[in-house]
Amino acid sequence: MYYVGIDIAKSFHVVSVIDNNETKVTNKPFKINNDSKGFEKLLTILESVTLNKDDFTIGIEATGIYGENLLEFLKSKGYIVLNF
């Protein structure tokens, strides 16, 4: 199991991925743009970890409307997304 935390901002988001032991950081935190290219970059990185979407739980910081597009994008791709 992998956990993905996403800090939402207006123009970009910061993403961190950890494993189920919460000790191994799979990737250093990285930025993605708040646009389709940034969302595709996120998918590429997640798919480099595992192709099984059920292996991820994704948490998105709820900061108004800035994360709505990413939330809907990830859900449309079949990921489990929690919006805090």
pLDDT tens-digit series, residues 24-80 = 677 689 999 999 999 999 999 999 999 999 999 999 987 789 999 999 999 999 999
- Across 1-84, where does the E strand assignment appear? 2-8, 12-19, 25-33, 56-60, 81-83
Domain count, the chain: 1
At 65, which CATH number? 3.30.420.60
Query: How confident is the model at residue 22, as a pLDDT?
Result: 77
Burial grade of 6 (CB within 10 A; 0-12, 13-18, 19 or more): buried
Query: pLDDT grade, residue 4 (50/70/90)?
Result: very high
Cα 14 from chain centre = 9
| pTM > 0.85 | yes
Query: How confident is the model at residue 83, as a pLDDT?
Result: 82
Enclosing domain of residue 57: 2-83
Query: pLDDT grade, residue 23 (50/70/90)?
Result: low
Please give the DSSP secondary-structure letter assigned to residue 21.
T
